[in-house]
Amino acid sequence: MKLFIPKNYNSVLDVNQTEQAIKLIKDIFQLNLATELRLHRVTAPLFVKQGTGINDDLNGIERPVSFPMKDLQETVAEIVQSLAKWKRLALADLGTKEGFGIYTDMNAIRPDEELTNIHSLYVDQWDWERVITKEERNLEFLKKTVRKIYSAFVRTEFHVSENYLDIEPQLPEEITFIHTEELAKQYPDLTPFERETEAVKKYGAIFVIGIGGELPNGEIHDGRAPDYDDWTTPTEKGFKGLNGDIIIWNEVLQRAFEISSMGIRVDKQAMIDQLKLRGMEDREELMWHKMLLNDELPLTIGGGIGQSRLCMYFLQKAHIGEIQSSIWPDEMISKCKVNGIHLL
């Protein structure tokens, strides 16, 4: 059991205040996000058909929850793991113009998740996607988008502090950009997570660029599926990758705290190259992948922003179970109770 108990932890808000604050955060943040990126809300599926290529494979090893559908000749459906691919389908179906996009509430079940202070079987996030031009498939546009999202974080944190005076803002005004290869050069003897920890402890908030591709030393900073984010396109300084993670320093947990995974999505060539690198060329025969190869899907940028994690950070909570209702090991429940951590 991986559980961290902060020394002398005492929740700033009680349970009732917490529930009210969760709604406040969600209302304010999604409005700011939609305004910054010109998004409108859409309804999203909880499950999709197996074998279509629509479901997110994450790192390619996580098992999706699946079930047969009685009225559809026992066709198997899968609970979504994220909506990375579905959103491009939705944008194509809606005929969304360049410069505009969509966001939605994504609810998922990830049964292989390791249960910790920040990981749960239940995943809730704002999934968003925006149509871009071919000319916008570059690092500067990625950074511009990250800054807009980060500004929504900062404004939301201010609103929380105005409504709950015992909570003081902690985010720096600006987010710092750093590539995985730069981290590897700066901290060659550390693990990828330890590198992130050192960098975010220094800057407060970072965007780590280029996640999924192989580093010069042969390792991969962190896993990414080969068919949604672009982690092979060359960028500045000879680096590769048009994707990344927004990571902030969590003072309560004393650790790096990933709040969002996002990136410019693969075009035809990037998907072909990345599938080949992962030995997954057979995916090109799936429905979604054929649509991309046939130019039936728009070029996009998109990502997911953890709802419970964002609330957890702003409300200075020690455990994600203080924000969402899920299932936890009995030992974890007991230990949290003794240490003043109220799991919902």
SS (H, E, C) 296-308: CCCCEEEEEEEHH
Q: Is 255 a catalytic residue?
A: no
Q: Is 261 a catalytic residue?
A: yes
Q: 15-48+81-338 architecture in CATH?
A: 2-Layer Sandwich (3.30)
Prediction pTM value? 0.91
Read off the pLDDT of residues 90-114 as tens digits, 9 standing for 90 and up: 999 999 999 999 999 999 888 888 8
Catalytic residue among 124, 127, 258, 322: 258
Q: Which two tokens stand for residue 251?
A: 């003072």
User: Which parts of the chain have pLDDT scores under 70?
Assistant: 1, 57-61
Query: Can you give the pLDDT at residue 344?
Result: 86
Q: Is 324 a catalytic residue?
A: no
Catalytic residue among 81, 125, 260, 324: 125
Query: Can you give the pLDDT at residue 60?
Result: 60
Query: Can you give the pLDDT at residue 61?
Result: 65
The phi and psi torsions of 19 (rounded to 5 degrees) equal: -60, -40
The phi and psi torsions of 138 (rounded to 5 degrees) equal: -150, 165
Residue 5 near residue 318, CB atoms below 8 Å: yes
Query: Can you give the pLDDT at residue 139?
Result: 94
Q: Is 137 a catalytic residue?
A: no
Read off the pLDDT of residues 131-167 as tens digits, 9 standing for 90 and up: 999 999 999 999 999 999 999 999 999 999 999 999 9
Query: Can you give the pLDDT at residue 22?
Result: 95
Q: Is 308 a catalytic residue?
A: no
Q: Is 110 a catalytic residue?
A: yes
Catalytic residue among 11, 82, 261, 308: 261
Domain chopping of the chain, boundaries: 15-48+81-338
Query: Can you give the pLDDT at residue 1?
Result: 59
Q: Which residues of 100-124 are buried (b: 16+ CB within 10 A; e: fewer)?
A: ebbbbbbebbbeeeebebbebebbb
Catalytic residue among 56, 57, 127, 129: 56
Catalytic residue among 157, 227, 245, 322: 245
